[in-house]
Amino acid sequence: MTSKRILIFAPLALTLFLLQSYLWVPSYEEQTRGNPHRLEEYIDGSIGDASLLNPVLSADSASSQIEGLVFEGLLDRDENLHFRGRLAKSWEINETAYFYVNPRARVPGLGAAEGDRLAEFIREAVRKGASGETSLARSLSNIRAVSVVPPRTLQKNFREKDPKDPKKTLVVRVRAKAPARIRLDLKTVDQDLFTNLGILLGKEYFSSFRAADYVAVTGPVPAERFSYYARKILPAVEHNPVLVFHLRPGVRFHDGHLFDAGDVKFTYEAIMNPANLSPRIADYEPVKSVEVVDPLTVRITYKRLYSPALGTWSMGILPEHLLNEKALAAEARARGLDPRKFSLRESRFNRHPVGCGPFVFREWESDQYILLDRFEDYWEGPPNYGRYVYRIIPDLLTQEMEFYAGTIDSYNVQPHQVRRLKADPRFQSFSGLSFGYTYIGYNMRRKPFDDPRVRRALGMAIDVDKIIRYVLHGQGERITGPFPKQTDYYNHNVTPLPYDPEGALKLLARAGWRRNAQGWLEKDGKRLRFTLITNSGNDLRKAVLAIAQDSWKKIGVDVRTDLLEWSVFLQERVDKGDFDALILGWMMGIEPDLYQIWHSSQSGPHQLNFVAFGNREADDLIAKIRREYDFDRQVAYCRRLHEIIAREQPYTFLYVGKWTAVLDKRIVIKRVDEAGRVHYEKIRPTKTGNYTFYFNRWIKLPEAPGFAMDG
């Protein structure tokens, strides 16, 4: 969970005095005298530990940070946000589309047609082309080949709940005698193909195809379900986008084993294996097949249009030879466990990962540190830093002091420190608006959070502007919905909830909640009482916790609060849906696919819709966003989704923070040209504010370079 995070601060001078009196931290110069390799170590500080180090299983930012150094994906985005190859050196995107021959339809100029005649009719149209720059002309010019798939017999089983006993599952067997299909091989994905072909074949050619004419179902089935099964097994049209990745030769995992296409296929299968409980399933469910063409070529075919497809393959690739069925069974037997019940989630690999990224895992001492060493055989060349140290320092004040002393190399500035530290000449600083937000989430499985009036009222009782002004010291902005505020997908027409305690009480009264003689809100003799939780070690969330509790108590809500250690908070409460309300944050990507967080199907254990939000129109929009390749239409769908979520208020959307990070000025980008000359460059952020993009080229110098380093 990154996806994608007080009120009274001790005077700084007193704090520094106390720390200097009771906590000795060696200076950077003292460290380097005792350890000449300190210049080649990068030491990071974090308030929380990783949960497990496996990119297909984890969902927290701490784990993701380490995984990004140990594992490598097929691609990622460059500093201009364009896709670039990593384990894949190149790729192609095309499409195979199908439609069933429809004997009920009459084609203009052809009449009723069997497969071969219809295929030739389309080939002729492709050869001639359509007049002008029309949509049909564009679709016809994109067709590379036309062929006929002969009739065949299909069978598929569907599982349904028994209407007489919901605890039981019925298996419905569907058998179809499928007619011939026309196959169209396309140069690129064409989401409007069948709309445009309707101009050629007749506007009702596809809609008049009756799948039910070819289908038989075992057992009594309601008419509406029969039609559903028929459409599922024999869809009138089918889009199958195809990705072909050409992999980089000679890449090795950290144990020396060669990476190949089998590892890509295995990673996909590990995600989709239900025993592994991967939170990534939703990203890969649209995949129809992953085919190893040869050791350095993999073909991925999708079941339907899926616009985020390419970006999902930035996922870190797992080593098949260490985690396949045979390897896991051997590990289970060695540990005295039942191989039949042993899954990837139980493997020791998750604490001793092996990838093919720039750093090799060495050691993990829980709640203390994680050590990584430079991978000398990294395909792009070894990083400049010889070691990466991830230290868990839950106390932010201690982090700050250690940064000043040089025992950690970067520091995420707290809001009240921004003005002072950005002006400090010892450091280079970077800042921007976060790609994400902080929120209060309500467990909609539980009362009273199943009532949108209650959720809205709770939000109206909190003065978010006050949080931004006093807790964030102005380093934040209001946010109203689920998309990053910097993107076109965010709907700026949605206004924030007003701070209106009296209005909140009126809304609660309409929901049946009224104050009793003691001032507490009651309904049917039960007090409005719940517990608000968040993770310890985050002073901003702790402050929001206190403000929310105080605000709600003022209107008569009996609120308890609890701070939990990060791993307990995540694994025992969030993953299991065992909470009333919580404070959390999402770090988002630039893609608008929110399926994992907001689709109603993603509300099970270890899934990311842990508040159990469900809305039919929202589900439909989320699916459309995933299928839409036209940017303007995708934006329109996103903005409508934003409206729905803001209306339903499954979260009280609080703020998007402005982040500031500081580094020692001695840290620079080091490059060596073809002649062997060394050049130092100033660290610069990407368009999204990512200043660590060139981390593999970072190095720390004994003295700050001569060029300006003001960030």
Q: What is the largest CA-CA distance in the chain?
A: 93
Structure tokens at 340: 């039949």
Give the pLDDT band of residue 60 (cuts 50, 70, 90): confident
Asked whether the predicted pLDDT for residue 208 surpasses 80, the reply is: yes
Mean pLDDT for 310-325 is 96
Q: Express each pLDDT in 562-579 by its tens digit.
A: 999 888 998 899 999 999
What is the per-residue pLDDT for 13? 33
- The pTM of the full predicted model, rounded to 2 decimals, is 0.81
Structure tokens at 549: 């509790």
What is the per-residue pLDDT for 2? 34
Give the pLDDT band of residue 709 (cuts 50, 70, 90): very low
Reduced to 3 states (helix: H, G, I; strand: E, B; else coil), residue 491 is coil
What is the per-residue pLDDT for 36? 65
Reduced to 3 states (helix: H, G, I; strand: E, B; else coil), residue 431 is strand
- Looking at this protein, which amino acid is placed at residue 111? G
Nearest to 684, CA basis, from 694, 676, 674: 694
Asked whether the predicted pLDDT for residue 710 surpasses 60, the reply is: no
Q: Express each pLDDT in 596-628 by its tens digit.
A: 999 999 999 888 999 999 999 999 999 999 999
Mean pLDDT for 416-435 is 87
Asked whether the predicted pLDDT for residue 31 surpasses 60, the reply is: no
Q: Apex CA 442: angle with CA 440 and CA 447, to 5°?
A: 150
More confident residue, 9 or 515: 515
More confident residue, 125 or 20: 125
Q: Apex CA 24: angle with CA 34 and CA 392, to 5°?
A: 85
Least confident span in 238-252, 381-395, 401-415: 401-415
Structure tokens at 379: 């395909």
Q: How far apart are CA 588 and CA 26, in angstroms?
A: 37
Pairing of the two strands 581-587 and 529-535:
parallel
What residue ranges define each of the domains in the chain, with the CATH number in brackets?
A: 12-71+348-433+661-700 (3.40.190.10), 83-92+247-328 (3.90.76.10), 95-241 (no CATH), 436-659 (3.10.105.10)
Give the pLDDT band of residue 220 (cuts 50, 70, 90): confident
Q: Express each pLDDT in 114-160 by its tens digit.
A: 899 999 999 999 999 877 779 999 999 999 999 999 999 999 888 87
